[in-house]
Amino acid sequence: MDIASACLAGVKCRYDGEAWPDERIVELHNKGLVKLVCPECLAGLPAPRCPSEISGGDGADVLDRLQRIDPMRPMAGVEPDRMESVTIYAR
């Protein structure tokens, strides 16, 4: 079985608390052909949350602990208790 990002199947788990449905993924999920996964939720991040970006480099650099993921400016409408400063390094 393949996996797909849960937000692409309509699950509201993106950083902004919304989904980004893709009809192809929704159809595959409805047929039971893909397992839905949200890596950010699996890592314990809330939805909604502040958007984040890699500080230079790319995902491979984060995995090699050469770069990190930093939160960006707070989003309007996100409760202050959901805006705690988080820096994520690969474990």
User: What's the rounded Cα separation, in Å, for the pair 67 and 53?
Assistant: 11
pTM > 0.75 = no
Tokens of 11: 């699950």
Contact by Cβ (8 Å): 25, 2 = no
Dihedral sign for Cα 83, 47, 20, 67, please: positive
Q: Which tens digits make up the pLDDT trace of 46-69? A: 889 888 788 788 889 888 888 887
Angle at 79 between CA 75 and CA 80, to 5 degrees: 90
Q: Which tens digits make up the pLDDT trace of 21-55? A: 999 999 999 999 999 999 889 988 888 988 878 87
Query: Is residue 13 exposed (0-12), middle (13-18) or buried (19+ Cβ within 10 Å)?
Result: buried
